[in-house]
Amino acid sequence: MRSRIFVKLMVVFLLVIGVTAITLQMTVHGVWKRTLREQIERNLKQKTLMFAYRVEADRQHSLADITAQEGQAAGARATVIDPTGKVLADSEADPSTMENHAHRREFVSALAGEVGVEERKSQTLSIPFLYVAAPVSGGAVRLAYPLTEIEITDRPLG
């Protein structure tokens, strides 16, 4: 009799521990993912503002050189557009082959004088990117950062 009660209590105890562990893991994972995303966004905003400042202030280097250097330093793709959305410089592609960027949400905000932030999946790479754009005189600058670190955490182990 005591043995059956002990087994039943042990099963209930293990069930409670299991449910608690799963709930805790899901909660911690969600908080960790949100915190990582916020930190990436905060850092990318700072880097984008520094990129904008350099585009405004650096008269010794070409726009293409500044864009390439800033993209490499930020670990992100760097782009500069004029007020019409025409790409003037890009750290990873030939601007003359690129489509107009005026209607991309982050650039719409930047061309209106505010820092624009947008997250969307890249059509070519099929991974999410965080885009941050900032205004400069004569257009806007943008850094695009792949959110693969966050995507990796959503994959099952094994």
pLDDT for 54: 97
Task: Indicate the pLDDT class of residue 151, thresholds 50, 70 and 90.
Answer: low
Phi/psi of residue 117, each to 5°?
-130, 135
Look up residue 115 and give its amino acid.
Answer: V
Average pLDDT over residues 22-34: 79
The more confident residue out of 35 and 49 is 49
Strand ranges inside 95-149, DSSP E? 116-121, 128-136, 139-146
The more confident residue out of 39 and 9 is 39
DSSP bridge pairs for 133: 116, 142
pLDDT for 150: 61
Look at residue 84 and tell me whether its pLDDT is greater than 80: yes
Residue with tokens 């990117």: 129
Average pLDDT over residues 11-23: 85
The more confident residue out of 140 and 124 is 140
Look at residue 104 and tell me whether its pLDDT is greater than 70: yes
DSSP bridge pairs for 130: 119, 145
